[in-house]
Structure 1
Amino acid sequence: MPNKLVEQEAKRRVMEDLLNALLAEELLDGLQMLTPSACDELAESYDVFAAAWNLLCSEAAATDKAGAGADLAGALIGLWRLDGAGTAVVFGLRRSVVQRWRCTPEAVVAASVVDGRARLLSPPELMRLVADSHAEAAGIHPEGTAVFIDMLQQTVAQIAWSMERSHPYSALLSLPPDRALLSLERYAAGRDRPFHPVAKAKLGWERDECGRFTAEAGQPIRLRWMAVRRDRLLSGDDAANVLPQSLLLSAVEQQELEKELTQRGLNGTHIVLPVHPWQMEAMLPQRLRPELDSGVCVPLDIEAGTFYATSSVRSLMSLDDEPSRHVKLPLGIRSLGGLRYLSAIKMMNGVRAEGLLRQARQLDPVLNERLYLCEEGRWWALKPQDNDLFADDPRHLSALIRTYPAELMSDNRKRLVPMSALAADSRQALLLAEWLQLRGLPNTAEAALELFREIAETFGELSLRLLRFGLVPEAHGQNAVLVLQEGRVCGLLLRDHDALRVHVPWLHAEGLADPEYLLRPGVPNSLYHDSPPQLIAFFQMLGIHVNLFSIMDSLSNAYSLSEERMWTELKEALQTALKRAALPELQEAVISSCLFKDESWPWKQVVRPLLAQTAKVPGSMPYGKGEMPNPLRAARLEEVPYAAH
């Protein structure tokens, strides 16, 4: 694809997610919905509007001529006017189940100013106008606004770089289990977190770093190693009698590493941790200056261990002798509004969460048979000098070795499919087409719906069985992995356990104990929830909206299925899942009410939390929750007449 077309498509993708988020989070104050005929009438009286409307029409005609199917005649038009600035902004709208309005897929936004000139807006330009219109609004800070606009610009650039490196889709499910998983991680990385306008932005990386260290780049990454004095090292219980290099390196590589330790006089006094090569060069010299100067930390010269980035970027996978072992390493880049460091606190909480999940498996035969868990108890981290586990700098030197169940990685009949990979291509659903072929099914809408029901029923049932115990994993598409056996969904694998949400009374009712998570005093947390609906909200936001709906959206576009049809299919699948889960009466009543009866539905905000950020950058994605009408209650989309909204 020529560079100009790549840039245009990158802008379109970002604008679609941005505009939909602005609509959902009600950041376009004064927005009006007009029919095309009403726009024609308005254009006769207002030159400023006429210029923007004419440009939007010409762009739609050009898109339709190119075969993209743009059709303003069947759409409503969003008119957002900033009268004081003499500006009119217009774009196509479509009715939606998940929010009242979504933009049309071509996501073209035209604007004109008082002198009659019109132009197409880029995502940063639109966001600047939105930010200016909320200049005095509470919860919107100049620092957060400036960073977010910069992230939009960098997202466009990094999506374009990713597209330039992309290859035509090839049969991924036919590869051996380990290579299939890595290839699907790369495929999923093409979209990253769905519906998030700045998901692809990795602040701190430019074209060269993205070409070396992202999943879609597919480049081998040679691990660096840091020797850390034993008395300044924390570790998980499962790591007490094992060294990181013994789990990650070949025998020859281990010998080479031991040789350098001996030559430097560090054998016996220090333990070596793997370090991402970018982190070693770009971050640790400034973050760990006292430890480096004092010899607490000694960077080694050796490069040992060849790994490849997965879609999360900081989790790396090997294709050598032990593909079941991945290593998660901190990175001092900013992504999704947070720094990608890796704290001891997070890993400690992850171990406690994993223990709860394993206990739940033992109490439920279906979970025991069909729910798989990665082992995440082997971790190491630099101990802060003052024992402050919430200190910033030590979080930049740590490592977690994640082990996948051996039966999943060694069985050639099985494949691991990150659910995010099923939403990676929001236009063509190429992975699903290959899956249909593998199952001997035609590549049709009805067959695609058959697979979707299989996905939703399995994911839904296992999630609801965990809810019975008061547990909700962070089951967005990157953490939730489908287990296929000969093309059929036979289970679900969970990884990255440190954000397991709990409702303690339901834990106690099933004989489970409070995990006693370690939390920063005085800071709100999202791990404990006082009421069942608060806990269930995270299943709705992450499991359904971010995960399942992104798959539904991809299928809707690829197979010309209406949103309404997709939500109807999901509702039936979740009702089947709830019946199969056979929950106690109390839990079933509460869950059924939240999913199928309540008028409102929790909505995960993405733009407002980023605009609210100040100079302090958190270690995870900023959180915000809004509401929308319950999409599982929607019967038919209402016909909406020409009116201001």
Structure 2
Amino acid sequence: MLGELAYEEVLTPEPDGDDPHSHRLTVAPGLTYRFRARRGAYGHWRVDPETIEPSADPMLFVARAHRTVLGLSGDTTGHLIRELTATLAADTRLDEGALSAAELADLGYAELEGHQTGHPWLVANKGRVGFSARDTERWAPEARRPQRLPWIAVHRELAAYRGVPRLDRPDHLYAEELAPETRADFARAVAAQGRDPEDYLWLPVHPWQWDESIAPLFAQYIADARIIPLAEDGDLRLPQQSIRTFLNISRPEARTVKLPLSVLNTLVWRGLPTERTLAAPAVTAWVHALRDNDPFLRDETRVILLGETASVTVEHPVYDRLPDVPYQYRELLGCIWRESLLPQLDPGERARTLASLIHTDPRGRSFTAELVSRSGLAPEAWLRRLFAALLPPLLHFLYRYGTVFSPHGENAIVVFDERDIPVRLAVKDFVDDVNISAEPLPEHEGMPETAREVLLTEEPSFLTQFIHSGLFVGVFRYLAPLCEEQLGVEEDEFWSLVRQEILRHQARFPEDKERFETFDLLSPRIDRLCLNRNRLHLDGYRDRADRPHAAVHGTVPNPLARI
């Protein structure tokens, strides 16, 4: 907490004596906190929790500091304490079942997800406002409890289907996702209500969402059988880090499903915006076409883009026509089907969430250190392979197509060979996290209008923030000091290797020189994006008509600008 709030300049610790690692923070008259911390790239603070005095209890700190150095209102303080309590309870559960780095390295992709501890940038990263303790035991990723999902049938007056060309009709999707006997059962259930099955679309629903949001808010449409509850489909699924996305462990080759969940976690309510859900297959078709028609992306990087290939969107007939109501009421019901990762891996390859690379086990052993040891490579050589797997596809999409993903720890997946050497990148979550340049580019001329209407646009100078904040600040800021401590790679050398990979890519494509300047990743300073400041000082816990975005507060030095 101290480190992340100091990074965002919510707190301003001062030097404490001559030791450059000693700091103090006056919280109130007669109350000063002292601690040791190392500074790092992008203005990072790496606080040693064992040195915090007089207490490392975060609740006690908030209670003492909320009116003074934190400057919080009473309502924000109350909700923050609730989120912190839920986060600490989840962390305790994770600690109880924590595995060693060696044991984690042997887990499959789906199982490893349930051992991640959440985004370290966000202080209350598992707040999950809306979940009870029992809900958390059943549905949180760290519970690691496979579940079956019920389905519902929704009349086409309320529901709309979209799919990529190969899945242009819903029956094509259902033929691949549901067994013949399940499809027959669903059709009989609709017919038993005196309705024509052809008039309905089927989709899974999160049981928590059904109880908390759908049953009460769609009661009229359940009563008149425009929404008909169906049975479970029989497949066991595990929730991923995002809570609302489920991997199919009964049939790993089957698509994952992304469902709305009216739970406030990190910065936003985890629903599915109607217009974005409708557009998801169109966005997928466009980014897939960019990759498939580009020999570098297709044949050299072999980047895996986990397409959102089909969707069902269900409008609320009242809420969706009221643009000023809180946005969570316009994200209540729908489903996005995403391609499975497993069928896209080569023999001997295995995938791990990027977030796992900054994980440490109960004995302090870094997961990355374990993988480096298994690879047999020198640490610098392994890091070069990591950066060569991650950066070229992201850079090419940015420079050539003015398009960025949000490659944070949850969305980016590292693919390893049989020696645990990084070889390529997989990316997911397109419709929420793909952004394009606001400056018109000829490469955007073939974009479907459906995709153009929903994709967020940013000025070129800000578009680079998605790589800086998502990957460099959001992941590498934590990975670099771990590599220094456990692999002997000094932090300056770490960032030098990142810079070298960027320069290597630029040398490979001199024809894009103008774009390197337009989308400048090597500028001396970048904007400081803040995730905690947004919650603490800007939006608090108030309702909004639109989703909040990360706050910008000042600038930080860019370690990639160093020669």
Cα distance change, pair 270–216 in 1 and its aligned pair in 2 (3 A):
same
Q: Are residues 1:418 and 2:349 paired?
A: no
Match of 1:576 among 477, 487, 504: 504
CA separation in 2, counterparts of 1:257 and 1:162?
A: 38
Contact 1:203 1:333 in 2 (8 A): yes
Which residue does 1:328 correspond to in 2? 258
Report the 3-state secondary structure (helix = DSSP H, G, I; strand = E; otherwise coil) of the residue aligned with 1:378: strand
Match of 1:287 among 217, 235, 258: 217
Deviation at 1:527, TM superposition (A): 1.9
Which residue does 1:201 correspond to in 2? 127
Contact 2:372 2:379 in 1 (8 A): no
Contact 1:34 1:79 in 2 (8 A): no
Matched ranges for 1:306-455 at <5 A: 306-369=236-299, 370-385=302-317, 388=321, 392-393=328-329, 395-404=331-340, 407-409=343-345, 411-425=346-360, 427-430=364-367, 432-434=369-371, 436-437=373-374, 439-441=375-377, 447-455=378-386
Report the 3-state secondary structure (helix = DSSP H, G, I; strand = E; otherwise coil) of the residue aligned with 1:361: helix
Which residue does 1:104 correspond to in 2? 47
Which residue does 2:525 correspond to in 1? 600
Report the 3-state secondary structure (helix = DSSP H, G, I; strand = E; otherwise coil) of the residue aligned with 2:117: coil
Cα distance change, pair 286–110 in 1 and its aligned pair in 2 (3 A):
farther
Cα distance change, pair 33–396 in 1 and its aligned pair in 2 (3 A):
same
Deviations 1:268-327 (A, max 9, x none): 343322011222223322232332233222223546332111222111111233534111
Q: Are residues 1:35 and 2:17 paired?
A: yes
CA separation in 2, counterparts of 1:618 and 1:413?
A: 47
Cα distance change, pair 126–273 in 1 and its aligned pair in 2 (3 A):
same
Q: Are residues 1:24 and 2:7 paired?
A: yes
Match of 1:300 among 210, 230, 244: 230
After the TM superposition, which of the residue ranges 354-363 and 490-499 deviates more from structure 2?
Answer: 354-363
Q: Are residues 1:260 and 2:189 paired?
A: yes
Contact 2:170 2:201 in 1 (8 A): no
Contact 2:353 2:414 in 1 (8 A): yes
Deviation at 1:517, TM superposition (A): 5.2
Cα distance change, pair 535–583 in 1 and its aligned pair in 2 (3 A):
farther
The TM-score with structure 1 as length reference comes to 0.77
Contact 2:369 2:487 in 1 (8 A): no
Deviation at 1:151, TM superposition (A): 1.3
CA separation in 2, counterparts of 1:435 and 1:218?
A: 27
Cα distance change, pair 95–317 in 1 and its aligned pair in 2 (3 A):
closer
Deviations 1:135-173 (A, max 9, x none): 8x7xx6554443223212221111112222334455566
Report the 3-state secondary structure (helix = DSSP H, G, I; strand = E; otherwise coil) of the residue aligned with 1:226: strand
CA separation in 1, counterparts of 2:159 and 2:471?
A: 36
CA separation in 2, counterparts of 1:619 and 1:432?
A: 41
CA separation in 2, counterparts of 1:392 and 1:240?
A: 29
Match of 2:423 among 477, 485, 490: 490
Contact 1:599 1:633 in 2 (8 A): yes
Match of 2:157 among 231, 248, 251: 231
Structure 1: gaps (5+ residues): 1-17, 37-72, 112-119, 442-446, 521-525, 636-645
Deviations 1:226-273 (A, max 9, x none): 221122102214355224654433334334434433433343343322
Which residue does 2:140 correspond to in 1? 214
The one-letter code sitting in structure 1 at the alignment partner of 2:86 is Q
Cα distance change, pair 313–450 in 1 and its aligned pair in 2 (3 A):
same
Report the 3-state secondary structure (helix = DSSP H, G, I; strand = E; otherwise coil) of the residue aligned with 1:182: helix
CA separation in 1, counterparts of 2:303 and 2:52?
A: 45
User: Once the two structures are aligned, what percentage of the paired residues are identical?
Assistant: 18
Alignment root-mean-square deviation, CA:
3.0
Structure having the higher Rg: 1
Which residue does 1:82 correspond to in 2? 28
The one-letter code sitting in structure 2 at the alignment partner of 1:261 is V
Cα distance change, pair 510–323 in 1 and its aligned pair in 2 (3 A):
closer
Report the 3-state secondary structure (helix = DSSP H, G, I; strand = E; otherwise coil) of the residue aligned with 1:236: strand
CA separation in 1, counterparts of 2:267 and 2:222?
A: 29
Which residue does 1:616 correspond to in 2? 543
CA separation in 2, counterparts of 1:503 and 1:193?
A: 27
Q: Are residues 1:126 and 2:58 paired?
A: no
The TM-score with structure 2 as length reference comes to 0.87
Q: Are residues 1:563 and 2:456 paired?
A: no
Deviation at 1:544, TM superposition (A): 1.5
Contact 1:337 1:618 in 2 (8 A): no
Contact 1:408 1:415 in 2 (8 A): no
Contact 2:316 2:330 in 1 (8 A): yes
